[in-house]
Amino acid sequence: MGIEPTSSAWEAEVLPLNYTRFGRRLAKIIIAAPEGANVARGNAQRAPNRPILEARNFLSLIASEMQAVDAVIRKRLHSEAPLVREIAEYIIASGGKRLRPALLLLAAGALGHRGHDCHELAAVVEFIHTATLLHDDVVDESTLRRGKETANAHFGNAASVLVGDFLYSRAFQMMVGVGRMRVMQVLADATNIIAEGEVLQLMNCHNADLSVEEYLRVVRYKTAKLFEASARLGAILGGAQSALEEGFAAYGMHLGTAFQIADDVLDYSGQEEELGKSLGDDLAEGKPTLPLIHVMQHGSPEQASLVRSALEQGGRDAFPQVIRAVKETGALDAALQTARDESARARDAIAALPDSQYREALLQLAAFAADRRY
Ligand code: IPE
Ligand code: IPE
Ligand code: MG
Ligand code: MG
């Protein structure tokens, strides 16, 4: 952190025009310098001067609070059913970036608030996230998560779905414990929208005619909504007035959108050992994500029809050819640029916050959402 970026060309690319008021000062803060070894391991598609962003840069500020959140998570995993404990422990102990709790703590911290309710609600959003992952891996038939076999691969689909339900309902017990109607309203709305997003996505599988707008709607629902709720809850706990709360909510929504678009790029270009997930899961499920939509809209007729039939069929047979098409058409870079634009919108949404370490960490978190490898 705090190391000068080596390329002003990259700065121009990553800091869009409407963001120039932060200029070089911010670039110095948010961008870690490229590390040759990491770049060499990274995606061949990426520019050699691509910066490497690390989650630890913004997590260090709240390290002790994150420990408190982990303690809440452990305490609240308790169940009479040993299998619940085993599976919940299996997925939670395997790590995860804990970005949603971090977002909540940083938003509250930026408003000078911390403490018990923050830790409880940070654990709540991580439980909701974990429940969605358990369900999502069943739906996507994924076999690798956080560098380990998925819970569905290890314990079976039925157990994964049921423990996902357990985590969801435990999260609701905990939020009721906080005792604030507004908090319950935000989380009830968010979980409902997430479920709707997953259903919309299911309906869109194998649909090669999906528009960018329809794709973005699914992204906002299934992923960005929980980031939005996390940031909004931090603002509510911090006593924000409604305009400020909306600013934090917009920040979370744009950040979450950037995060999912980046995830969809990494599904074609990441390194499995860094990502902890298998590449190609999206194509296998016939998901029309932004890189594929780009090829179908901007590629040659041959490239477009290759991707169209791979999507309609699903499976992994055409994965190498599809990777070639997304790379040759610049689809990964185009999608990444969309993620960076969303990240810039997120940063704009909190631009009015007074200078603080929390504000800087929130800006870093938004940058990481788009430019990450894991
Ligand atoms: C994975 O989220 C699901 C998506 C929204 C892409 P994360 O990448 O935050 O998952 P963990 O918690 O770090 O494993
Ligand atoms: C995110 O979509 C799903 C959720 C919001 C739960 P993905 O299906 O792309 O997430 P990963 O890649 O499995 O983590
Ligand atoms: Mg998935
Ligand atoms: Mg994915």
158-171 pLDDT, tens digit each: 999 999 999 999 99
Indicate the average pLDDT of the chain: 88
> Is 249 among the domain residues?
yes
Q: Residue type for 266, please?
A: L
pLDDT, tens digit, 9 for 90 and up, residues 72-123: 999 999 999 999 999 988 998 888 999 999 999 999 999 999 999 999 999 9
- Number of independent structural domains in the chain: 1
15 vs 216: CA distance, rounded Å: 22
> Is 19 among the domain residues?
yes
> Is 2 among the domain residues?
no
The pLDDT, as a whole number, for residue 317 is: 97
> Is 1 among the domain residues?
no
The pLDDT, as a whole number, for residue 52 is: 56
- The reply to whether ligand 1 has any atom less than 6 angstroms from the CB of 223 is yes
Asked if residues 123 and 72 have their Cβ atoms less than 8 Å apart, the reply is: yes
Closest C-alpha to 148, from 253, 276, 236: 276
The pLDDT, as a whole number, for residue 158 is: 97
- The reply to whether ligand 1 has any atom less than 6 angstroms from the CB of 314 is no
CA of 223 to the centre of ligand 2 (A): 8
pLDDT greater than 70 at residue 7: no
Between 19-28, 219-228, 323-332, the lowest mean confidence (pLDDT) is in: 19-28
Measured from the Cα of 263, ligand 1's closest atom is 6
> Is 314 among the domain residues?
yes
Which residue, by CA, sits nearest to atom 1 of ligand 2?
Answer: 223
Q: Which helix (H) or strand (E) holds 148?
A: strand 148-149
The pLDDT, as a whole number, for residue 109 is: 97
263 vs 54: CA distance, rounded Å: 15
The pLDDT, as a whole number, for residue 264 is: 98
Between 47-56, 249-258, 343-352, the lowest mean confidence (pLDDT) is in: 47-56
Closest C-alpha to 121, from 173, 53, 60, 57: 173
Domain range for residue 333? 8-371
Which residue, by CA, sits nearest to atom 12 of ligand 2?
Answer: 263
Measured from the Cα of 146, ligand 1's closest atom is 14
- The reply to whether ligand 2 has any atom less than 6 angstroms from the CB of 220 is no
51 confidence band (pLDDT: 50, 70, 90) = low
- The reply to whether ligand 2 has any atom less than 6 angstroms from the CB of 132 is yes
Q: What's the rounded mean pLDDT across residues 50-67?
A: 84
The pLDDT, as a whole number, for residue 31 is: 33
- The reply to whether ligand 2 has any atom less than 6 angstroms from the CB of 225 is no
276 vs 212: CA distance, rounded Å: 27
- The reply to whether ligand 2 has any atom less than 6 angstroms from the CB of 140 is yes
> Is 3 among the domain residues?
no
337 confidence band (pLDDT: 50, 70, 90) = very high
- Output the pTM of the full model: 0.88
Q: Residue 355 burial by CB count (10 A; 0-12/13-18/19+): exposed, middle or buried?
A: exposed
- The reply to whether ligand 1 has any atom less than 6 angstroms from the CB of 96 is yes
CA of 160 to the centre of ligand 3 (A): 14
> Is 80 among the domain residues?
yes
- The reply to whether ligand 2 has any atom less than 6 angstroms from the CB of 285 is no
**CATH classification of the domain holding 179:** 1.10.600.10
Q: What's the rounded mean pLDDT across residues 2-15?
A: 32
56 confidence band (pLDDT: 50, 70, 90) = confident
Measured from the Cα of 222, ligand 1's closest atom is 5
Measured from the Cα of 256, ligand 1's closest atom is 5
Q: What's the rounded mean pLDDT across residues 297-308?
A: 98
pLDDT, tens digit, 9 for 90 and up, residues 20-50: 222 232 233 333 333 332 322 333 344 444 5
Measured from the Cα of 264, ligand 2's closest atom is 9
Percent of the chain beyond pLDDT 70? 86
CA of 184 to the centre of ligand 3 (A): 27
